Amino acid sequence: MEERRDDCVLELERALDARGLRQTMPRRTILGVLAGMDRPFTSTELTEHVAKVDPRIGRASVYRLLQLLRGCGLVERLHGPATEAYVLCLLRDHHHHATCSVCGRAETFTLEDSASIERAVERIGYTMEHHVLEVVGVCPACRAAGHGAEVPQ
């Protein structure tokens, strides 16, 4: 787990370096915290986690890095069940996110084909360039714990 987290930080730093964004001191700390987030988070939650590691790092630094990472496509903004949230996502290929309405965890998934979406928008006279799709549901762990739809026997 620690190793995966370090890999993740390295990948984020490489991506920022490749864009000529200078290495600054709090960056590594924030990236380290970000890499350890196991579910989508708000910028306030991320700031609180960062402050536990280094109380000198304020909201402005956290928010600025978050926006840089969004610009690089390494952090995505989800809408989720209740509030907006950010998620660290290193996937490059087209994909979607499903968020659990009970525990807040998120997973990625892909559609077998997006032809039915294309057909649906053709009915209103559009040609599709791209689409954004996000699912809110109940994850397997929460279903097993008795939440949401019935668990199949």
Residues that bind Zn ion (CB under 5 A): 76, 89, 100, 102-103, 111, 139, 142
| Shortest spacing between CB 60 and Zn ion, in angstroms | 26
Tokens of 14: 């490489």
User: 46 vs 76, which CB is nearer to Zn ion?
Assistant: 76
Tokens of 23: 């290495």
Tokens of 116: 């039915």
User: 21 vs 89, which CB is nearer to Zn ion?
Assistant: 89
| Shortest spacing between CB 118 and Zn ion, in angstroms | 10
Long-range contacts of range 19-28, CB-CB < 8 Å, 24 or more positions apart?
19/72, 21/68, 26/50, 26/54, 26/56, 26/57, 26/61, 26/65, 27/65
User: 59 vs 79, which CB is nearer to Zn ion?
Assistant: 79
| Shortest spacing between CB 22 and Zn ion, in angstroms | 26
